[in-house]
Structure 1
């Protein structure tokens, strides 16, 4: 996605030409939309797209999920006013299962990312995930692997990096042939030292595969899904991910 550098006008309240994606939009008043965006330079920003629901609005077809845009806005507070959006192209829209996975990623970001907290590395990871999800005829295991990789990077950006290759407390290397238990907010402990504090039992090979982003083993694929669900639910603090519930019903991703 090629973009002109974002610029900040002399008025600190105005931003011009910053690269971003629409995560979600919903109706606001009679003809407008609230557009939740994820931008390269400013992180997650909520914008009012005035008149965007009118049939002849230039914004109507642009402020859609997964659309790569150059965004310009102004205003103060949590809700800014969108002045211009330019389509950047270069990225196919995910289809089918890839589209559902994209909605899951977007919802995860909406619920875990604070507003106006830049995550430039995550922006690149998000683009890469959308690109991967846009590939045609992927097997179910490939979609699951894309989600696990993005979940790991998102948690790391939020300061919750998971050191899957090392034991909690001791820092010893995880052994592929050994069983471990995963304890939330601590990490992996050898099963014999868990002392009843286990949140989930997992193989050492699964932990090492996750550290290497290798999900070819069916056991790793299954256990990594369960483990990441446990960790993410912990950080969501009781919030429900509606897209994930749909994916569970359809494909058990």
Structure 2
């Protein structure tokens, strides 16, 4: 909830009781941090956590990644201020900390959010899916983890407004043929490819579009993950191309680290 109070020339902007996750933290001084938060109602926000690095700070054990928090923050400037001041942060319960490979996978999600979402742009559905995806990363089922990642990438691209309608051939505006094969292009959309050129099956694209629509509700995410599990080998390169286009970079830091660990 956001509130405003007039005072002189400045406008006090305060948000209280907001659900949030820490995406990244930066040292600001010997005793303080700047945090990049993903909040449910206000999107990505930057806050200063004053004194959070001090040994006896109540904030120090709370401001950890992948832990759901309830925060309050404020600024002395207008609502569009770039950096706010964190007032309180409390653990909201939930899954334990990620570890091992799940930790790197979680940071991959965080890097996507930080690089693709603008500040102060609310994405409440995406926030709910992020919260629901984190526990899956610890399941120990590699195919399940990969399906969860692909489902989150689909929801992210759809929420950003850059994912074409999967069940429609963008060129002809006709429904994709169930027996056809299609590629996903950042600019051209869903395009049929010749036999032998790979791509995603038209039947799968139709099913995925229905699952995406159902995933507008958090309980529908499991269905989307199950659909993604059916096409992992084809879906991963297709979505990687879309993400790279919108990121403007071929390799993410977390993905590069995962590749290096796998090769070592």
Q: Secondary structure at the match of 1:215?
A: helix
Q: What is the deviation of 1:24?
A: 0.9
1:244 aligns with 2:248: no
1:79 aligns with 2:83: yes
CA contact (8 A) 1:102 1:133 kept: yes
Equivalent position of 2:153 in the other structure: 151
In the TM superposition, 1:1-150 aligns within 5 A as 6-10=1-5, 12-75=12-75, 76=77, 77-135=81-139, 137-138=140-141, 140-150=142-152
CA contact (8 A) 2:67 2:94 kept: no
Query: TM-score, normalising length from structure 1?
Result: 0.85
Residue among 218, 223, 235 paired with 2:246: 235
Distance in 2 separating the partners of 1:107 and 1:251: 20
Q: What is the deviation of 1:57?
A: 1.1
Distance in 2 separating the partners of 1:172 and 1:101: 37
CA contact (8 A) 1:202 1:223 kept: yes
Q: Secondary structure at the match of 2:125?
A: helix
CA contact (8 A) 1:92 1:134 kept: no
Aligned-residue RMSD, C-alpha: 2.3
Q: Secondary structure at the match of 1:35?
A: strand
For the structure 1 residues 242 and 210, does the alpha-carbon distance in structure 2 shift closer, same or farther, using more than 3 Å as the test?
farther
CA contact (8 A) 1:21 1:69 kept: yes
CA contact (8 A) 2:39 2:127 kept: yes
Distance in 1 separating the partners of 2:57 and 2:250: 35
Equivalent position of 1:183 in the other structure: 185
CA contact (8 A) 1:7 1:17 kept: no
Using the TM superposition, name which of 235-244 and 101-110 deviates more.
235-244
Q: Secondary structure at the match of 2:228?
A: coil
Q: Secondary structure at the match of 1:133?
A: helix
For the structure 1 residues 120 and 203, does the alpha-carbon distance in structure 2 shift closer, same or farther, using more than 3 Å as the test?
closer
Q: Secondary structure at the match of 2:176?
A: coil
Distance in 2 separating the partners of 1:98 and 1:175: 37
Aligned length: 237
Distance in 1 separating the partners of 2:19 and 2:30: 28
Q: Secondary structure at the match of 2:135?
A: helix
